[in-house]
Structure 1
Amino acid sequence: MWTALQPDQPTSAPMIRAVMISSIDGTTTVDGRSGGLGTPTDRLVYDAMRARADLVLVGSGTALAERYGPAVVSPVWTDRRTGPAPTVLVLTRSLPDRLIDLCAGTDDRVRIAAAHEVGRQRIEAARARGVRVHVLDPGPTGAAVRALASRLHAREVDFEGGPRL
């Protein structure tokens, strides 16, 4: 387990790791949240991957259901991490008010990555509340996310959820 934080070979593009949980029947939530599915070992792995990451990527539905806030590094892993906790980046196709409310007041530690099609008014509404909004490049979502992660100088991205993503 301790080797989970050992660096991988550097690559030119950010490394994106999916860190998700599901039950044997494919269910990803219990009572609308994923936390009820995990064991202490699952939590240790989740925390290790978050401690490695420069950026935490999550879909807006998951961020809202799980009430995401700024990332923290588990005390188990703090001695293996240099620098602050990773930035949380929430992907959205619509940028609803609830998501703006969730991200406002997080001191830039929770940001939004809006799909290229999101209306300018929605983006300006979020920015007026102090939320940093990045607009994804047009084209395939995967390529747009990887390009944004590169622009943000992220070497490792912890993709934590969004079953629709």
Structure 2
Amino acid sequence: MLLPQARDIDDTELERLYDYPAELSRPWVQVNFVSSPDGAVTVGGKSHGLSGPADKKVFMLGRTLADVVLVGAGTAAIEGYGGVKSGEVRSAVRARLGLRPVPPIAVVTRRATIAPDSSLVTDTVVPTIVLTCASAPEDRLTALSDAGADVVITGDADVDLSVAMAELDKRDLRRVSCEGGPHLFGGLIEAGLVDQLCLSISPLLAGGDASRIAFGPPPVAPRELELASVLTDENFLMLRYRARHA
């Protein structure tokens, strides 16, 4: 079977495929991952080794179309996250969709482990949102707030992802693009909060002891998905699944 080539689809069609539903009344969570066919989520400890040009284009489109980029603290640290820059997103598309010029990063961290002087806090166009919990050390919470982060308590001993989504909703941030990592994705699955999965399969057998794309307590029942689109480019498969909602 011949699959559509990503290079043969123009930007308008790609945006149509990956755009969020119109007039959202709640946060709608899209999760983005790249994996090897044998299930590895990293090569040499980072996802960059699995990625390719078409996969990166879809990844950056996720940022262009999002109100907010959601990421776990571990992934943000390993991948060297800073704030999203104006040149990283397509400003004309965001303006046409009525989105703010740049989406903030929302980082999930139970212990508020983000350093106040990290680029994730200091090198931003809009303040980073720190989704944490009441048991995090008070001095860390204060330091992050003083450094300009929007510190949000979303639970007592752990981050309650449903509360986190409600806090994003209060800020009119409903188009949520989650960029990992596996523990955050696992938590979203457990909480029943995943609406769409964009999964790129890299043409590498990575082996080793790399994590799978989701890790955590199982949900009450597996979430049924529908295959929404399939693209290929340079031996990459770019799959898009949408959750079936009751």
Shorter-chain TM-score above 0.5 = yes
Using structure 1 for the length normalisation, give the TM-score: 0.86
Equivalent position to 2:108, from 91, 104, 107: 91
**Count, aligned residues:** 164
Using structure 2 for the length normalisation, give the TM-score: 0.60
Equivalent position to 2:164, from 128, 139, 145: 145
> Match for residue 65 of structure 1?
78
Identity %: 29
**Is 2:60–2:88's contact at 8 Å kept on the other side of the alignment?**
no
Q: Within the alignment, does 1:44 sit opposite 2:57 as a pair? A: yes
Q: Where does structure 2 lack aligned partners over 5 or more consecutive residues?
A: 1-13, 185-246
**Is 2:89–2:102's contact at 8 Å kept on the other side of the alignment?**
no
**Is 1:51–1:74's contact at 8 Å kept on the other side of the alignment?**
no
- Cα separation, 1, equivalents of 2:147 and 2:159: 29
> Match for residue 109 of structure 1?
127
- Cα separation, 2, equivalents of 1:70 and 1:155: 19
- Could you give the per-residue CA deviations for residues 56-89 of structure 1, whole angstroms, max 9, x where no partner exists? 0000000001111111356683321113110011
- Cα separation, 2, equivalents of 1:85 and 1:24: 33
**Is 1:93–1:118's contact at 8 Å kept on the other side of the alignment?**
yes
Structure number, greater radius of gyration: 2
Give the root-mean-square deviation of aligned CA atoms.
2.3
The alpha-carbon distance between structure 1 residues 20 and 87, as it changes in their structure 2 partners (threshold 3 A), is same
Counterpart amino acid of residue 60 in structure 1:
A
